[in-house]
Homo-oligomer: A and B are copies of this chain.
Amino acid sequence: MKVTVKTLAEAAGVSRGTVDRVLHGRGAVKPEVALRIKTLAREFGYVPNRAGRALAAFKTPYKIGTLLPSIGNRFFDDVITGINQAREEYSDLGIEVILKEVQGFDVQEHLEAVNSLVKKGCRALCLSTIDVPEMRERINELCDRGIVVILVNTDVSDTRRLCYVGSDYTKAGATCGCMLSMFAHVPCYHILVVTGSRLMLGHNQRIEGFKKALGDNGVSYDIVETVESSDSDIIAQEKTLKALREHEEINCVYVTGSGVQGVGAALIALQKTDLMAIAFDDLYTTKELVLAGIIKFIITQQPQRQGYHAIKRAYQALAGQIGPEVDDFITDTIIKIKANL
């Protein structure tokens, strides 16, 4: 049997307006009445009807704010595609998505972006941001104010966010290591690690997972050097060239962040295209390198689904479809080779 606001109102002996006030915590209701209604709602298993709400309040849509460090980072193109897909799909159910794009990872800039979204009246936020104390505090504060916060692509530790939507970086790294163990082209892998930044949790996890899997699978290897690209192709190319020239023995390059194109350029320049090169994420330029056989395989993380499901989760939370305890949405760890790009 369907339970509606009317059902609850009749059962509690109050008007529908009062029930609405209680369920949304707006307006003042006598505490004992409020409690009675809340109990009733739980007992009856009341779930709001999305169609009803959408129709009634479509002139005051749920505003969902999104923050992405997407300027100058093609990775987020697919995330944005997913966001737009969800935006269109849910538009007639009454949502409005405000997308705020920033460049890089400046704490102040991120904090200000969050503030501006809140000021615009967003009742839910989907954030791809940095794991630093200031942001952590800000997020917890927002949660306490009843704003739904969802972390996208990168989690922020120790927060009361609703959930995380993104990939499992450790697993992604481990999958790389496991793949290498199956190839076993050479007796020992001498590895150059080109990471984006040592400050990026995801990048570090990709390295840790990788090393652990190599160890677990009995692959003999050593990390010759680890360089940082700051996610820049030019820096990646320079540092890769330098390392490869200094260490003739390197027979494997492991790229954890952006700058893949730069690494590819270095490999081509030195004619080391037979060397085992591995990277993450399917940017257009990266795919080209796989097709050319320079990168042997990549691990991807379904960025489009991340964007889509972040918005979907935000809507579901605002519409009362899901409770305050939800599982994280972890996207698949996908191995891509020439054949299934």
A: which residues have CB within 8 A of B? 47, 49-52, 54-55, 58, 92-94, 171-172, 174-175, 177-179, 182-185, 213, 296-297, 332-335, 337-340
Whether A338 lies near B183 (C-beta < 8 A) is: no
Q: Answer whether A182 and B93 are a contact pair too, CB < 8 Å, given A51-B58, A55-B52.
A: no
Whether A339 lies near B178 (C-beta < 8 A) is: yes
Q: Give complex CA distance A213, B58 in Å.
A: 53
Whether A339 lies near B92 (C-beta < 8 A) is: no
Whether A92 lies near B50 (C-beta < 8 A) is: yes
Whether B175 lies near A92 (C-beta < 8 A) is: no
Closest to A213 in B: B339
Whether A337 lies near B296 (C-beta < 8 A) is: no
Q: Give complex CA distance A339, B332 in Å.
A: 12
Whether A178 lies near B337 (C-beta < 8 A) is: yes
Across-interface contacts of A175 in B (CB, < 8 A): 337, 339-340
Which 6 pairs of residues, A with B, have the shortest CB-CB distance? A178-B339, A51-B54, A335-B335, A51-B51, A333-B340, A175-B339
- Interface of chain A, helix or strand or loop or mixed? helix
24 pairs from A and B in contact (CB 8 Å cutoff): A47-B92, A49-B55, A50-B51, A50-B93, A51-B55, A51-B93, A52-B55, A55-B55, A171-B339, A171-B340, A174-B339, A175-B337, A175-B340, A177-B339, A178-B340, A179-B337, A179-B339, A182-B183, A182-B296, A184-B185, A333-B339, A333-B340, A334-B340, A335-B335
Whether B92 lies near A51 (C-beta < 8 A) is: yes
Taking the closest CB of chain B, its distance from the CB of A252, in whole angstroms, is 14
Closest to A176 in B: B339
Across-interface contacts of A335 in B (CB, < 8 A): 334-335, 337, 340
Q: Give complex CA distance A185, B185 in Å.
A: 9
Taking the closest CB of chain B, its distance from the CB of A45, in whole angstroms, is 13
Across-interface contacts of A93 in B (CB, < 8 A): 50-51
Closest to A55 in B: B51
Whether B332 lies near A334 (C-beta < 8 A) is: yes
Across-interface contacts of A334 in B (CB, < 8 A): 332, 334-335, 340
Taking the closest CB of chain B, its distance from the CB of A339, in whole angstroms, is 4
Whether B340 lies near A49 (C-beta < 8 A) is: no
Across-interface contacts of A49 in B (CB, < 8 A): 55, 92
Across-interface contacts of A58 in B (CB, < 8 A): 51
Q: Give complex CA distance A47, B339 in Å.
A: 39
Q: Give complex CA distance A58, B52 in Å.
A: 11
Q: Give complex CA distance A337, B182 in Å.
A: 10
| Seed contacts A49-B55, A332-B340; 5 additional CB < 8 Å A-B pairs | A51-B54, A51-B93, A55-B55, A182-B296, A183-B183
